[in-house]
Chains A and B, each alone.
Chain A
Amino acid sequence: MKPVPDADTKPYWDGIADGELRLQRCEACGQAVFYPRAVCPHCFGRPLRWFTAAGTGQVYSYTVAHRAYGEFADQAPFTVALVDLDEGVRMLTRIVGAGSDGIAIGARVQMTVEQIGDADLPCFRPAEGPHTPQEAPEPAK
């Protein structure tokens, strides 16, 4: 299922086509914003400036879908997760490359662009190599 980019979101999907995760940051309050929009959901300010995120974060929660519908039915089982990016926003995504042990809440992950059906989507795989554990900032309420 192809996402339908619009005036708010085209820069985001252009970034994914370039292998980059682009987010917005509010110039009024300094907080990162996802999904893209015209006005900051945190402070109602603007403008929102695009920047390229690190593409790293940690798993807030996940589920393994054993049954799926429509064009996704043949893909099951697959893992869907909520990932808290290090910039302080949360996104729904898929986890790939986690192996037979699967993924865990709190696991460090990094962005990878994967083809899901007919769409190229930002997904996440377990982060490689040693890293310094860090607390991801709580997403803004």
Chain B
Amino acid sequence: MTTRRAAIVGVAESDVGKTPHLTVLSQQALAAQAALAEAGLTRDSVDVLFTAGAWSWAPTMTLAEYLGLQLTYTDSTNIGGSSFEAHAGHAAAAIEAGLIDVALITYGSTQRTSRSRNSPRPAELTAQFERPYGMPMPVGAYALAAMRHMHDYGTTSEDLAQVAVAARQWARLNPRAYYRDPITVEDVLASEMICEPLHKLDCCPVTDGGGAVVIAAEDRWPDVATQPVKILGHAETHTHDTIASMPDLTVTGAAQTGPAALRMADVTVDDIDVAEIYDSFTITVLLTLESLGFCKPGEARDFIAGGRIAPGGEFPLNTSGGGLSYTHPGMYGIFLLIEAVRQLRGDFAWPRQVPDAELALVHGTGGVLSSAATVILGTV
């Protein structure tokens, strides 16, 4: 049977960083307009809108109305920061099934400007066993995972800091990055302790920002203005919601979605040219690399050592500067897709551009290591 393939044909960000001139809706509208324009597709070609956020009880309905979209398919998946990787998978599946031709994925947040991130929510339903203890969220949950990983494998704060240092080196090559001053391992260790063992520079900043991704069925590729970046594999899961229900704090759902997505794409981790892996915190990257199978459990510290994930290294990772240095408006996952597409199209100049990148692994993590979604993208 011939599979009807899907590809990302347009990507764009809205303004990122601090955007008091934008709303959560205008961010997504401007990004959507730019991504569709890049693809050479019209607003009226869109069959389905994906978005995620807590700014409406039904975000896809609110935003579709704002954009003037009339849709033939709907999906309101919200699994936190990895929602957009799941959306890409759902779009590819709907295209394969012949249900849609064009999908639009957007995200927007004004959490920096509105300072909405830490407004209290009631301690009800399953949260009644968590919120009354006052653990800062989500950083506290990631700190619990980091502490356990250190206990089990001897991972150190210096190992974690290497992730932040490499991200900042990439961010220095990205004019849009929120933080661009160089940092050292010592700077990370000297930054304020937030939740042991995580320092301030182990944590992503709180920024505003939005983005958009346009996905089209292969029948439309001859009409688009960009080089289509094919969705070769995708997989998703969630393993828990509250951190107490995570079976093993050192293994994420990536252990399931990584192998599944690679299998669908018929490639292995050794084939991957560039990786965009959710880095809400430094520990997120180490756990995800291990769970995806790039290295064995406990060996991520060695895998990233010696500048392997920094610009010019053997394993280009988070080439925009990542959530740690580029931008992190609450749910970062859409920016992973945007960066991977640009790398595979060869949009950049060296050293930001990964030479001859043909295959990318994109992995989103949401909640408190709760959800995982992997997408394999390629131009081959």
Residue ranges of A at the interface with B (Cβ–Cβ < 8 Å): 1-6, 9, 34-35, 60-72, 75, 78, 80-82, 90-94, 105, 116-117, 119, 121, 139, 141
Neighbouring B residues of A139 by C-beta, 8 Å = 247
Q: Within B189-222, which residues are at the interface with A (CB < 8 Å)?
A: 192-198
Given A92-B242, A116-B132, A141-B247: A1 touches B143 (CB 8 Å cut-off): no
Contact of A65 among B136, B148, B151 (CB under 8 A): B136
Residue ranges of B at the interface with A (Cβ–Cβ < 8 Å): 118, 120, 122-126, 128-136, 140, 143-145, 147-148, 151, 192-198, 242-245, 247, 249
Closest residue of B by beta carbon distance from A106: B151
Please tell me if the beta carbons of B144 and A62 are within 8 angstroms of each other in the complex.
yes
Residue pairs across A and B with Cβ atoms less than 8 A apart, 17 shown, are: A2-B123, A2-B132, A3-B124, A3-B131, A61-B145, A63-B135, A63-B196, A65-B194, A66-B195, A67-B195, A72-B136, A90-B244, A92-B129, A93-B133, A105-B148, A121-B132, A121-B133
Please tell me if the beta carbons of B123 and A4 are within 8 angstroms of each other in the complex.
yes
Given A35-B129, A60-B148, A82-B144: A72 touches B134 (CB 8 Å cut-off): yes
Distance, CA A62 to CA B135, complexed state (A): 11
Neighbouring B residues of A34 by C-beta, 8 Å = 129
Distance, CA A4 to CA B134, complexed state (A): 15
Contact of A3 among B118, B123, B145 (CB under 8 A): B123
Neighbouring B residues of A4 by C-beta, 8 Å = 122-124, 128
Neighbouring B residues of A119 by C-beta, 8 Å = 132
Neighbouring B residues of A70 by C-beta, 8 Å = 118, 120
**Chain A nearest CB, measured from B340 CB (Å):** 32
Please tell me if the beta carbons of B129 and A91 are within 8 angstroms of each other in the complex.
yes
Contact of B143 among A35, A63, A75, A117 (CB under 8 A): A63
Distance, CA A52 to CA B180, complexed state (A): 55
Contact of B195 among A6, A65, A71, A94 (CB under 8 A): A65
Please tell me if the beta carbons of B195 and A1 are within 8 angstroms of each other in the complex.
no
Please tell me if the beta carbons of A61 and B144 are within 8 angstroms of each other in the complex.
yes
**Chain A nearest CB, measured from B245 CB (Å):** 8
Neighbouring A residues of B128 by C-beta, 8 Å = 3-6, 9, 35
Contact of B144 among A3, A5, A68, A80 (CB under 8 A): A80
Neighbouring B residues of A63 by C-beta, 8 Å = 135, 140, 143-144, 147, 195-198
**Chain B nearest CB, measured from A50 CB (Å):** 16
Closest residue of B by beta carbon distance from A93: B133
Closest residue of B by beta carbon distance from A119: B132
**Chain A nearest CB, measured from B111 CB (Å):** 14
Neighbouring A residues of B123 by C-beta, 8 Å = 1-4
Please tell me if the beta carbons of A105 and B196 are within 8 angstroms of each other in the complex.
no
**Chain B nearest CB, measured from A31 CB (Å):** 14
Neighbouring A residues of B148 by C-beta, 8 Å = 60-61, 105
Please tell me if the beta carbons of B133 and A116 are within 8 angstroms of each other in the complex.
yes
Distance, CA A81 to CA B238, complexed state (A): 22
Distance, CA A91 to CA B122, complexed state (A): 19
Neighbouring A residues of B140 by C-beta, 8 Å = 63, 65, 80
Please tell me if the beta carbons of A62 and B132 are within 8 angstroms of each other in the complex.
no
Contact of A82 among B118, B125, B243 (CB under 8 A): B243
**Chain B nearest CB, measured from A11 CB (Å):** 13
